[in-house]
Amino acid sequence: MHNSIITIINKYIDVFGFVSVSEYIQERKKLNLDDHFDDYTFLEGYKTIITLALPYPSKEVKWNGLGHGVLSRYSYGVDYHIVFRGILNRINEEFNNLEINSFGSVDVSKVDERFAGYLCNLGFLGKNQFLISPEYGSYMYLATILVDIDIDTPKMTLDDCHDCNICVEACPSDALDNGFDETKCISSLSQMKKTFDKTEISYFKTMIYGCDICQKVCPKNTGIDIHKYQEFEPSGIENINIKNLLQMSNKEYLNIYKNNASSWKGSTIIKRNALCLIANQNLKEYSNEIRKSMVKFSDVLWYNKTAELVLKILERE
């Protein structure tokens, strides 16, 4: 059975591993985190967690210059949820043909994917918070499949950060200073419906969504740039013209970005991030466009408050 499982997964995925459900629960409880991953009821009836990794390219899209914002690397091309779901469905179907009960999910599930990946021996957990594998570095998406059979795999010795501290020092918002402070992480801010203060605005210079800095500086990623999946190649929509973006309706935006990972919370968030880029790129000539957008979003307090602050910054400079 073990070999049939590996043959099936290998048709779609090169890097994957196994951990027993009991070990996952036991080890995660030891972390004493008391978070939403602590509800283990959905694992009942399953014996093994399989963690799967899909690599994405590390080569970055060149910023188009003033008036533009680029997406972070994990949101190039087609949304990884869509790609992974297609693969998980096919694997599940093949498992079901072997009478294996399975459940695959990506991102939204109740499995702490990085920790599961670590226990599956895919790699180590770095100070930048990423699961880092020898094959893909940190440039990989993760997903899990639960199965109702036991699968044993030998454990190997994993690498670690040793005395490196580069990502901690490189993080512009000090989010990695004491482990990880999600409230400070720029990637997190770029996805939150919230009014930005001056410091938060200052983080958004050329990147309009997500943040890649702690991956970019990591020596474990040196020389790694994998182009195995055409879907994750930049498709031309990654460099966003800020003026066009502000003028777009939500419908027009979704026509272009609905299959892109950056769009899951709608266009208002991306437009709020664009306001910050306007401030930091000192695009005074966009003030009118900002005012027009404030009328459109008159009922969105966090958008308008951020816009007011951006206008003040532009007036002062």
Would you name the residues annotated as active-site residues?
Answer: 107
- Chain positions 122 to 161 lying near ligand B12, rule: CB under 6 A, are 125, 128-131, 138, 140-142
Give the residue with the Cβ less far from ligand SF4, 74 or 95. Answer: 74
Closest separation between CB of residue 170 and ligand SF4, Å? 6
Task: Identify which of residues 64 and 109 has a Cβ nearer to ligand B12 in the complex.
Answer: 109
Contacts with ligand B12: how many residues (CB under 6 A)? 34
Does position 211 interact with ligand B12 (CB under 6 A)? The reply is yes
| Minimum CB–partner distance for residue 267 and ligand SF4 (Å) | 22
Provide, rounded to whole angstroms, the least separation between the CB of residue 152 and ligand B12: 21
219 is a site residue for ligand SF4 (CB under 6 A)? yes
Residue closer to ligand SF4, measured from CB, 213 or 313:
213
Residue 35 contact among ligand SF4, ligand B12, none, beta carbon within 5 to 8 Å by kind: ligand B12
Among residues 16, 103, 115, 196, which is the contact residue for ligand B12, using CB under 6 A?
Answer: 115
Residue from 100, 106, 226, 300 that binds ligand B12 (CB under 6 A)?
A: 106
Q: Which residue is nearest to ligand SF4 (CB)?
A: 126
| Phi, psi for residue 18 in degrees, rounded to 5 | -130, 145
Partner whose binding site includes residue 218, from ligand SF4, ligand B12, none (CB under 5 to 8 Å by kind)? ligand SF4
5 binds ligand SF4 (CB under 6 A): no
Number of Cα atoms under 13 Å in the Cβ half of residue 123: 27
Contact residue for ligand SF4 among 75, 105, 173, 263 (CB under 6 A): 173
First to last CA, the chain: 67
Pick from ligand SF4, ligand B12, none: which does 200 bind, CB < 5 to 8 A by kind?
none
Q: What is the C-alpha separation between 52 and 95, in angstroms, rounded?
A: 15
Count CB-CB contacts under 10 A for residue 301.
12
When asked if residue 131 is in the footprint of ligand SF4 (CB under 6 A), the reply is no
Nearer to ligand SF4, 103 or 141 (CB): 141
Q: Which residues bind ligand SF4 (CB under 6 A)?
A: 126-128, 161, 164-167, 171, 173, 175-176, 185-187, 211, 213-214, 217-220
